[in-house]
Every structure is written in structure tokens, then in C-alpha cells.
Amino acid sequence: MSTGSAVVRVEVRVELKPGVLDAEALSIEKSLGLLGLPSVRHVTTARIYDLEFSGVSAGEARRLAETAVDRLLANPVIHRVTIRPAEPLVSP
């Protein structure tokens, strides 16, 4: 299969920057304490977007993922973004 028709998967991880209030994480911390798991000291959350590209190289896929992040997936004021090749798919 040529590079031009291969499927390339890129994982975009979007999380809140340190210092930005993560209300969901705080709610989970509180709930876990109430459920009897007080040893959970700290919780952070992140959102993963797994983007599957066709007809582009790995480098191009990464560049397109950066464009998608800039234009749709993240807010640079509050979000920290990590882009990396996605791990192979696992069966359910």
C-alpha cells in the first residue's frame, strides 16, 4: 500500500492548563471521597480526539491535526494540547 492511500491515525489530547479550574475533576474528587475512596488525592481530566486521515503522509496528518486543534478542538487560552501518533486499535 502506498503512503498516499494509507490510513494515518493521530491522537490529540486536550487538557486544561495548570491553574485553570477543572470543575469536573473537583466534582469527581469529592464524589470518590464520599464513595469511600479517600486515597484518591487528586484528579485531572483530559479529552482525547482520535483523528483518522486517509490519503496523507504521517507528517501531513500531524500538520492537519494542528490545524484542526487551532480552528476547532482547543482554546489556546485555557487548553494544553498534545499531538502524537495514535496507538494501534484494540479489539473491544
User: Which residues are near a copy of itself by CB under 8 A?
Assistant: 7, 13, 15, 17-18, 25, 28, 31-32, 35, 37, 39-56, 61, 64, 67-68, 71-73, 80, 82, 90, 92
CA 84 to CA 77: how far, in whole Å?
Answer: 21
CA 83 to CA 74: how far, in whole Å?
Answer: 12
Q: Nearest approach, Cβ of 65 to a copy of itself (angstroms)?
A: 8
Beta bridge partners of 15: 46, 80
Q: What is the CB-side half-sphere exposure of residue 3 using CA atoms within 13 A?
A: 6
Q: Nearest approach, Cβ of 2 to a copy of itself (angstroms)?
A: 15
When the beta carbons of 45 and 75 are compared against a copy of itself, the nearer one is 45
Q: Nearest approach, Cβ of 83 to a copy of itself (angstroms)?
A: 13
